Amino acid sequence: MKITRLTFTLGLLLLVSGLILGSACVEPVRPYVLGAECDNFVLARVGEVDITLLDLLEKPQTFSLIQEGLITNEIIRQEAARRGVDVDMDFIQEQIDNMIAGYGTIDNFLEQVGSAMPSTLVLDDVRDYFVMQELKNQILNHEWETTRTPIPETEIMYHWSESETMYKQVLSNEMGIDPEEVTLEIARERMKEDIKQAWIGENSLTFFLDLRLAVDYEFYLFDALNGREHVVVPEIEDEHEVEEEPVVLTPEERAALEAEGTHMPIEELIPGNN
């Protein structure tokens, strides 16, 4: 679960943003430009070593967290509002209570989290986590209902033919009947739900990635560091596989490698260069 990892970092970012926006470190215009006087703003001290605002801003994780943890979450909230979906906070609280119950007491939970943040902020972070997960689930359910229903009968029949034995066993146990009494019609609603959940699982990642790419937003933190020679702004790229350029060897280079007992994998050679 991401709660523990994000709690301290999100709290730190919120604290830093509040301090920055409320101080003389920025001009009252956008995009903000952080002055050099902010570089040595001390966020924490470990022994005799200070951890400063500049240390935080130079970390790629900071940019990634803002993009993934704050911008993406706001995009999801706006998409949920556009679709008219919401979360039941009583359901969210029930999930939180069940999670904490697994630790025995709330004090045990906070101790296990091991966060340096106040307990109220930890619990707020936990609540936000469950809310975002439920919003995403509601959005995907809405997408399914509006674009994928009704499920074609051919898809239901295929699912039944592939999993008939499993449904007969599961439903017979649940209903207390003989497996042979479980028919397609009895299993239909369960299969429809399973088909939906399979679709959600397969499409969740790409759906929200496409959603983020489709929304216009401005990332002022890059502008705030623009032109600062001593600040290297890391590049944030979407996760994808980068196709490596094949190794091109001349006949002489291949012969030299073979003489040393080294052989290049055939997939790394360009046709025509062997």
Tokens 């299993």 sit on residue: 187
Number of domains into which the chain is organized: 1
Residue 63 forms part of a structural domain: yes
- Output the pLDDT for position 239: 47
d(CA 173, CA 159): 20
- Output the pLDDT for position 217: 82
- Output the pLDDT for position 52: 86
What are the backbone angles phi and psi of residue 227, rounded to the nearest 5°? 85, 0
Its sign, for the CA torsion 266, 270, 272, 274, is: negative
Residue 117 forms part of a structural domain: yes
Its sign, for the CA torsion 201, 71, 54, 7, is: negative
Residue 153 forms part of a structural domain: yes
Beta strands in the chain (DSSP E): 42-46, 49-52
Residue 200 forms part of a structural domain: yes
Alpha helices in 102-152 (DSSP H): 106-113, 119-147
Residue 32 forms part of a structural domain: yes
What are the C-alpha distances in Å from 196 to residues 133, 150, 212, 272?
A: 17, 11, 23, 49
d(CA 112, CA 9): 17
DSSP 50: E
Tokens at 122, concatenated = 């930890």
Cβ atoms of residues 20 and 38 within 8 Å: yes
What are the C-alpha distances in Å from 28 to residues 18, 25, 31, 246?
A: 14, 10, 9, 51
Range of the domain at 64: 3-224
Residue 192 forms part of a structural domain: yes
> How far does Cα 258 stand from its chain's mean position?
46
Entry field: residues in the chain:
274
d(CA 105, CA 50): 35
Residue 233 forms part of a structural domain: no
Residue 99 forms part of a structural domain: yes
Amino acid at 60: P
pLDDT in tens, the chain (274 residues): 555 444 445 554 554 455 444 544 544 445 555 566 677 888 889 989 998 887 887 777 887 788 778 889 999 999 999 999 999 999 999 999 999 999 999 888 888 876 667 788 888 889 999 999 999 999 999 999 999 999 999 999 999 999 999 999 999 999 999 999 999 999 999 999 999 999 999 999 999 999 999 988 877 766 666 555 555 545 545 444 444 555 556 666 666 666 665 544 443 443 444 4
